[in-house]
Amino acid sequence: MPREGLPDALWNTLDASRGTVRTRILKYLLALILLRFLEGRAGTRLEELRSPQSYRPDLDIRINEVASKLAQTYPALRDIFDQIDFTNTDDLGESTARNTWICRVLRHLDEIGGDRTQPRDLFQEMLDRRLERPGQNATSMHTPRSLREMIVRIAAPQAGERICDPFCGSGSLLVRAAKESATDRPIIGQDINTEARVICLMNLVINGFSDIRIKRGNAIEDPILADDGKLLLFDLIVTDPPLGRGRWGRSKIIEDPWGRFRWGIPPRTQWGWAAASHIISTLHERGRAVVTAPLGLLFRGGPEARIRQSVIEDNLVDGVIMLPRRSFRRTSGAIVLLVFNKSKCNDSIFFIDGRRIADEGNDPNRSRNIDRVISIWKERKENNAFSRLAPLDQVAAENYSLDVARYLPSVSLNEAVDLSVTRRELKTVETELRRTWAELTAALGETLDD
């Protein structure tokens, strides 16, 4: 890992004057780290990437020239540096300010020693730190380290599998899955956000991948296609879709040419099952997926209940894993992992309540808690306290709810309860109820109009 102090110094170069770190500025810092990494890989010393002894007014131009030169050796860089210009006034300020900032970053990067993996560690450290800043919406593009570990180990990527993340954000989850599988196939992903896509490309390059296909666009409205115009199918999908997307373009997919929504069309303001339907539809006949989802996806009524029933009846849901509270910084509410599998060998769904597995102290990031969940999942261990293999007929009897609490005994009254978290979760439920009621009222109005 990076030497103590260097990550702090680099992080402090970012513009955090209002308690936030703009993604655009972070992008330039990551680009400079990437350039130093590639310099080491090329085995040459580029003086342009060394901090000058005094201020230089043309440092931004020289960095652009270095990027252009390295892109001739590494074709994957061309797509990155088409979106990164160190002379950009809107992002980095006027000439004096941006060249002073570049010089400051280079001065810190000069501390990097001969270990060529160190820039890679710094790159990931900067991404992970962004999650820790209060007031950030960083998790819309980046998955915390502990959750990446959980998702990938549940997914268990295999050698030679075609892997995709259709909502890839920074690409860290995709990187972790591709490394686990040691795949020699192209690394494929998609994201609607231009800045996130560029960071994802850099993340993959600095982690040693060269055959990269990261599409910019909305995966629901504009999915990744094969050469014949059909959906490109995958052996494994791991993804952490953004929560609370709101209106997601329902009207544009009612007549979906790829037939992804045969289980039903989700409500206008709840896109969770739209993402899940897309994911299931882009799996090979023996494919599987591990997807993060909000709690409401498991039990909400209306159109979502009908979709959920159809997906369960098709025996596509392999497991539901409730994650410990606060395992995502984006929300105080509960988050779950949904595991889909198109080649299940049984007619049951495995439920795990990770909240009950967490060690005393309620720290969801401890590796031993992850290990326990993974062990229970892989061995399909049933435990009255926190895991149950429920037959599909029992799920049907529960009105096709996937709420873990339906299949496990109630929590002991002696368990410690964090009241502040409970209050926030109640507010989330109240918001969901108001939204559902509004949708129901609108639907009834449309029916009456017809």
pLDDT (tens digit per residue) in 413-427: 344 445 655 666 577
Closest residue by Cα to residue 67 from 202, 245, 216, 262: 202
The overall average pLDDT reported for the chain is: 82
The pTM of this model reads 0.85
Instruction: Give the mean model confidence (pLDDT) for residues 66-87.
Output: 87
Instruction: Give the mean model confidence (pLDDT) for residues 73-90.
Output: 88
Residue 442 has pLDDT above 80, yes or no: no
pLDDT band at 14 (very low <50, low <70, confident <90, very high): confident
Residue 119 has pLDDT above 80, yes or no: yes
> What pLDDT is attached to residue 139?
46
| CA 332 from centroid of its chain's CA atoms | 17
List CB contacts of 447: < 8 A, sequence separation 6 or more: none
Report d(CA 154, CA 318) in Å as an integer.
Answer: 11
Instruction: Give the mean model confidence (pLDDT) for residues 2-28.
Output: 69
Dump pLDDT digits (tens) for 187-203.
999 999 998 999 999 99
445 DSSP β-pair partners: none
> What pLDDT is attached to residue 339?
98
Report d(CA 235, CA 136) in Å as an integer.
Answer: 33
> What pLDDT is attached to residue 128?
85
pLDDT band at 317 (very low <50, low <70, confident <90, very high): very high
> What pLDDT is attached to residue 271?
85
Closest residue by Cα to residue 18 from 110, 135, 173: 135
Instruction: Give the mean model confidence (pLDDT) for residues 358-374.
Output: 65
What single string gives the DSSP state of each residue in 125-180? HHHHHHHHSTT--GGGT---HHHHHHHHHHH---TT--EEETT-TTSHHHHHHHHH
Query: How would CATH label the architecture of 138-414?
Result: 3-Layer(aba) Sandwich (3.40)
Sheet of 335-341: strands edge to edge? Answer: 212-216, 187-191, 163-165, 234-239, 283-294, 335-341, 317-322, 348-353, 387-391
Task: Give the angle 405-413-403 at the CA atoms, nearest 5°.
Answer: 5
User: Token pair of 131, please?
Assistant: 């999650």
Instruction: Give the mean model confidence (pLDDT) for residues 394-401.
Output: 97
Residue 296 has pLDDT above 70, yes or no: yes
Dump pLDDT digits (tens) for 26-55.
899 999 999 988 876 666 667 777 777 777
Which is higher by pLDDT, 303 or 137?
303
Q: Which helix (H) or strand (E) holds 62?
A: helix 59-73
Pick from 74-78, 80-84, 268-272, 304-308 the range whose average pLDDT is largest: 304-308
Instruction: Give the mean model confidence (pLDDT) for residues 385-409.
Output: 93
> What pLDDT is attached to residue 232?
96
Which is higher by pLDDT, 360 or 219?
219
